[in-house]
Structure 1
Amino acid sequence: MGFLDIRNVTKSYGQVQVLHRVDIQVEEGEFLVLVGPSGCGKSTLLNMIAGLEAISGGEIAIKGRVVNGVHPSKRNIAMVFQSYALYPNMTVGQNMTFGLEMHGVPKPERDRALAQVAKLLQIDHLLDRKPGQLSGGQRQRVAMGRALVRNPDVFLFDEPLSNLDAKLRVDMRTEIKKLHQKLKTTIVYVTHDQIEAMTLSTRIAVMNKGHVQQLGTPKEIYDTPANVYVATFMGSPAMNILPAKVVVQEGAHHAQITDSEGAPQLLRLSQTNLAAGQEILLGIRPEAITDPEGADRKSGNIVSLKNRVTVTEPAGADTFVTMTLGGRDTIARMRADASVAAGQVFDFAVNMEKAVAFDPKTEERIAP
């Protein structure tokens, strides 16, 4: 039993089922991120944990207590909304302690909690200001502070950084991470941003069309995606997914794939439980395709591949190189100073230890 248990939870609106038997256990102190595209059901699930949406089937329990039908105010949860939801006529301090006041917490206790949290979030100098006098980042801190003063069992974050500009979003991401490491709070966090999911979480639930596609650590999700959807959703640029056929030569397994000229190339597979002639989808992350000097020296399976470069894109610390493999655009991630140009035939180094095989029919990963 987890600290927060989501057991076979479903949600329907009339005949339309938007969540399908979601089953997740969240341990105390864990940072779970629900990630997926718009409409996948992640915010609906968060609202059901909060009590803002009714549960159609299954159970949600917090600290062993089933909360189906329990009013949001009785669940001891705190929620940070995308819109901040601050009262414009109240000061920062009043916004942060309003919930405590409504729950009948004595003023000396409210003041102590406010001082402690305001100092933690470095907003103690803003307590007498109104929300309209604050920047977006400051409002976000106030919204977080309002949740923290409550000292709830579970914190729920609903895309809290989506209204911030790119730099501030990165800064606030770091602040939330540091806050979690310091307080060891239990957090369920909703986002459509896979970078946020990877950097913040202890575990990720990747969702699509109301189903949890995969639940695991960031490393598990990234290195061993359960299916093609997870492989292409998590990672920027996305994993390359290439049609290939298994060829066995002299006891070694290879993925046969066509190059930019349509000629067959063999890439030696580390995975050996595939049958000769078997059609697969070969998944390779962009960083596993590079120049020979930039290849991972710890890998025991670096394969050379000559292919024509289509496009190069300098991106500061990296250079992204596009070529054609298996009839599809394929992206390689190289060092900034890699000497490569569009139109040339380049000697790529492919780390096949990082390759993943998927079934073309089911799109599920074929386990080694």
Structure 2
Amino acid sequence: MSFLNINKATKSYGSVKVLQQTNISVEEGEFLVLVGPSGCGKSTLLNMIAGIEEITSGDIEIAGRSMKGIKPSERNIAMVFQSYALYPNMTVKGNISFGMEMHRVPKKDREKKISEVAELLQITHLLDRKPGQLSGGQRQRVAMGRALTRNPDVFLFDEPLSNLDAKLRVDMRTEIKKLHQKLGTTIVYVTHDQIEALTLSTRIAVMYGGYVQQLGTPSEIYNNPANMFVAGFMGSPSMNLFPARISIQDGDALAEITAKDGSTSVLPLNSDVFTAYEGKEVILGLRPESITDYDSADPHSKSIHTIKARVEVVEPAGSDTFVITHLSGKDVVSRFRADTPVKAGDIQQFAVNMEKVVAFDPETEKRIA
């Protein structure tokens, strides 16, 4: 049985249903990330696990025990908030030990635990300071330290890095991943940042409109999106989505793509499912790294095909150069080598890895291949 089991859980406020029936099973030691845009239901679900929000219907079990009617303080969970929620008049040591004092942990045991946690998070030299004397990253470590003293069944993180600057966010992301690898504790982590989701998780639940749109490993979510929302939301830059007309020649499916100047390129498709779409439009999905300069194309792919199109914008990004062109009425982002000589206005040959293409029905927006 799963360690954390969310079984047909829903949440409504009056007649407004903010979380539709949700089923997620989390094994002990997993790192589950709930990701999606604001208002998708991810924080509501986290608060239901914590007991801050009551469940409207369904159930949530932790370690085989139903959480119905169980107070947050009795759930053996530890939560790290976006705002850190530190006591400003207490030292770091006081903040970390406060929960243990409330649970009447003996002083000797408290001191030992504070020392262990401070060493683990590298904040020993900060124990006598107050939160106002700390940087954002240091305050976040203290908040994590307070949670670690609990030895909880489940850690809950509610957008803990959103208040940090970009570099510090990357550094703290690494620290949280190291912490999980070292402790092996079950973690449920909420974020709207899909890069955080992909880099931290063992599994991801992509949420939108109160529904779990897809649940899977980072690789499954990135390479095999279930629908157009997941494809467009996950990844940076996100997956290119553009229409193509399907034709069938000698039993083989082909995708006809129109460039900005009106010229048409034809790309082969490797699935029999497209025969049902002959003469119709589908939405093709390709990651930027699957559309590149010819020298950077995947040497292991057996289906590299080229198209010619005008370069609209060039965006140098250090290790890569993003080249934007226009196909079938949509801007398409491709990933070139950093030193590729290309400039806006060029007619460029793009290498397309058709082994990586996915396709969606334009009406249902669900994946068809």
TM-score, structure 1 normalization = 0.98
Q: Which amino acid aligns with 1:291?
A: D
**1:210 matched to which residue of 2?**
210
- Give, in angstroms, the shift of residue 265 of structure 1: 1.4
Aligned to 1:219: 219
Per-residue CA deviation, residues 311-348 of structure 1 (Å, 9 max, x unaligned), is: 11111111111111111111111111112111111111
Mapping 1:164-175, distance limit 5 Å: 164-175=164-175
For residue 313 of structure 2, the aligned residue among 294, 311, 314 is 311
Q: Matched residue of 1:297: which SS? A: coil
Number of the residue aligned with 1:192: 192
- 1:21 is aligned to 21
**C-alpha offsets along residues 193-237 of structure 1, whole Å, 9 cap, x if unaligned?**
001000000000000011000000000000000000000000111
Aligned 1:117-196 pairs, distance under 5 A = 117-196=117-196
1:134-178, CA deviations, whole angstroms, 9 ceiling, x for partnerless residues?
A: 111111000000000110000000000011111110000000001
Unaligned runs of 5+ in 2: none
Q: Take 1:270 and 1:236, find their aligned partners in 2: how far apart are those partners? A: 26
Aligned residue-pair number:
367
Letter in 1 for 2:177: K
Greater CA drift, 265-274 or 209-218: 265-274
The whole-number CA distance in structure 2 between the counterparts of 1:346 and 1:283 is: 20
Structure 1 contact 270–301 (Cα < 8 Å) conserved = no
Q: Is the Cα contact below 8 Å between 2:273 and 2:368 reproduced in 1?
A: no
The reply to whether residue 302 of structure 1 matches residue 282 of structure 2 is no
Give me the TM-score of the superposition, normalised by structure 2: 0.98
Q: Return the alpha-carbon distance in structure 1 between the equivalents of residues 130 and 346 of structure 2.
A: 60
* Sequence identity (%): 68
Stretch deviating more after TM superposition (78-87 or 89-98): 89-98
* Aligned equivalents of 2:294, 2:126: Cα separation in 1: 54
2:17 partner SS: strand
Paired AA for residue 287 in structure 1: E
Query: Counterpart of 1:252?
Result: 252
Aligned partner of 1:272 in structure 2 is 272
How many Å apart are 1:109 and its aligned residue? 1.3
1:350 aligns with 2:352: yes
The Cα shift of 1:363 comes to 0.3
**Residue 283 (1) aligns with residue 247 (2):** no
Letter in 1 for 2:262: G
Secondary structure at the counterpart of residue 55 of structure 1 = coil
The alpha-carbon deviation at position 252 of structure 1 amounts to 2.6
Alpha-carbon separation, structure 2, partners of 1:110 and 1:270: 62
Q: What residue is the counterpart of 1:364 in the other structure?
A: 366
Partner Cα distance (1:262, 1:178) in 2: 51
Structure 1 residue matching 2:344: 3-state secondary structure: coil
- Confirm or deny: 8 A CA contact 2:33 2:201 kept in the other structure: yes
> 1:37 and 1:273 mapped to 2: Cα distance?
32
Structure 1, gaps ≥5 residues long: none
**Counterpart for residue 104 of structure 1:** 104
- Give the secondary structure class of the aligned counterpart of 1:222: helix
Residue 239 of structure 2 corresponds to: 239
**1:303 and 1:250 mapped to 2: Cα distance?**
19
Q: 2:31 maps to what in 1?
A: 31
CA distance in 2, matches of 1:262, 1:231: 27
> Amino acid of the residue matched to residue 316 of structure 2?
P
Amino acid at match of 1:361: E
Q: Which secondary structure does the structure 1 equivalent of 2:273 belong to?
A: coil
Q: Residue 91 of structure 2 aligns with which residue? A: 91
> Distance between the aligned counterparts of 1:20 and 1:232, measured in 2?
22
- Contact 1:157–1:189 (Cα < 8 Å) also in 2: yes
Matched residues in 1 for 2:21 and 2:53: separation?
16
